[in-house]
Each structure stands twice: as structure tokens, then as C-alpha cells.
């Protein structure tokens, strides 16, 4: 019995060590490293649910930068996102940014839609036209609430009124 438990402990230790190695590798090579060169920009959003440092900044679906910092503005209570965009990308000053999801269960990233202005954003510039993230839970809750309200206003799921309860006969003795 003693030999078996030592073998089990050794096997467990090897499995845990292998898992730790894979975890360290995934964190170091996960592709979420912030970009350190390029043009520094900021943008303020009302919500940035699920957005993290190191998240992609994309234009037309192509990665052109990354999110470098997230903080809260103490005066407006909006989320301030600092990002870096490649220096070879010239963005018009009327460009817009939005927090977008990669899919139903995917991560969040910043999508920039270039404007059409003549002036370009410079290092330290600010994107003023923004749209925060949309909460899937909030949308689902609104949908369920509206369907429930619609059903109760129509008197049931099929527009029919519920059948009256059957009358009970008085008990006989």
C-alpha cells in the first residue's frame, strides 16, 4: 500500500508540473502583449465590459495596435482607455472607436472606424467619438421583458384568453 501511494504522489506531481509549464507558456506567448511603439491615443467610453489591457485595436478587422491602460476618470466616471496604434497608420481626427466582441463567447477589442477629415490624430491625441460595449445579458433581459409584456398585453402566448377555472360543485353530505 505504501509503494502505491508514493507512485500516485509522484504521478500527481509530474502532472501538476506539466500543467504549470503549459500555463506559463500560454501566458507568455498568448498574443496579448501590449504594443509599446506607435502613436499613443486615448478614448473615453461609458462601458468597457470585458476589455483588458493587451486587447487588440483593429481597423477593418486587422490588428493595428493594442490597449495599454484602463482607468476611470474621477470627474466623469467614464472609462479611459489608452491605446497604441502603429505609427504608419494615419487616423483622421474625426475617427470613431467602439468596444466590440469577437463573437458570442469571444474577447473584446477596440474597433476604430477612420473618419474622413483632413486633420490627423497625433501622438497623445484623443478619439472623441466612442461607443461602449453592449452587454449581452442586458440585451437578453430586455428581450425577455418585452416578450413577457407583449404576451400579457395580448392575453397569452396565442392571443387567447386563458380558460376560466372549472366551477366546483358544492360538497354533498
DSSP readout, the chain?
-HHHHHHHHHHHHHHHHHHHHHHHHHHHTSS-PPP-SSEEEEEEES--TT--TT-EEEETTEEEEEEEEEEE-TTT--EEEEEEE-TT---BTT-EEEEEESSSSS-EEEEEE----SSB--TTEEE-EEE-PPPHHHHHHHHHHHHHHHHHHHTSTTSPPPPPPPPPPPPP-
Q: How many domains does the chain have?
A: 1
Mean pLDDT of the region 3-8: 78
Number of C-beta neighbours around residue 172 at 10 A: 4
**% of the chain exceeding 90 in pLDDT:** 51
In a domain, 32, yes or no: no
Picking from 39-48, 102-111, 120-129, which range would have the lowest pLDDT averaged per residue?
A: 102-111
In a domain, 88, yes or no: yes
110 contacts 98 by C-beta, under 8 angstroms:
yes
Domain that holds residue 44: 39-136
Q: How far apart are CA 147 and CA 156, in angstroms?
A: 11
Question: What's the CA angle centered on 104, arms 131 and 91, to 5 degrees?
Answer: 35
* Torsion angle defined by CA atoms of residues 120, 123, 124 and 125, in that order, rounded to the nearest 10 degrees: 10
User: What pLDDT, on the 0 to 100 scale, is given for residue 163?
Assistant: 56
User: What pLDDT, on the 0 to 100 scale, is given for residue 172?
Assistant: 59
Mean pLDDT of the region 18-47: 80
In a domain, 76, yes or no: yes
Listed residue (48, 56, 70) closest to 109, CA to CA:
56
In a domain, 60, yes or no: yes
In a domain, 143, yes or no: no
- The predicted-structure confidence for 136-172, as pLDDT tens digits, reads as follows 777 788 888 888 888 888 865 455 555 555 666 555 5
In a domain, 19, yes or no: no
Amino acid at each position: 500500500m505504501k509503494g502505491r501511494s508514493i507512485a500516485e504522489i509522484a504521478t500527481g506531481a509530474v502532472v501538476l508540473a506539466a500543467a504549470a509549464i503549459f500555463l506559463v507558456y500560454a501566458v507568455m506567448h498568448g498574443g496579448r502583449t501590449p504594443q509599446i511603439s506607435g502613436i499613443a491615443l486615448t478614448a473615453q467610453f461609458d462601458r468597457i465590459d470585458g476589455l483588458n489591457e493587451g486587447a487588440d485595436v483593429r481597423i477593418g478587422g486587422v490588428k493595428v495596435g493594442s490597449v495599454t491602460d484602463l482607468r476611470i476618470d474621477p470627474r466623469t466616471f467614464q472609462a479611459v482607455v489608452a491605446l497604441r496604434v502603429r505609427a504608419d497608420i494615419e487616423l483622421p481626427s474625426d475617427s470613431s472607436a467602439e468596444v466590440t466582441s469577437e463573437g458570442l463567447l469571444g474577447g473584446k477589442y477596440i474597433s476604430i472606424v477612420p473618419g474622413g477629415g483632413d486633420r490627423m490624430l497625433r501622438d497623445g491625441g484623443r478619439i472623441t467619438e466612442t461607443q461602449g460595449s453592449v452587454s449581452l445579458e442586458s440585451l437578453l433581459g430586455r428581450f425577455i421583458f418585452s416578450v413577457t409584456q407583449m404576451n400579457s398585453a395580448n392575453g397569452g402566448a396565442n392571443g387567447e384568453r386563458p380558460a376560466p377555472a372549472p366551477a366546483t360543485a358544492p360538497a354533498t353530505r
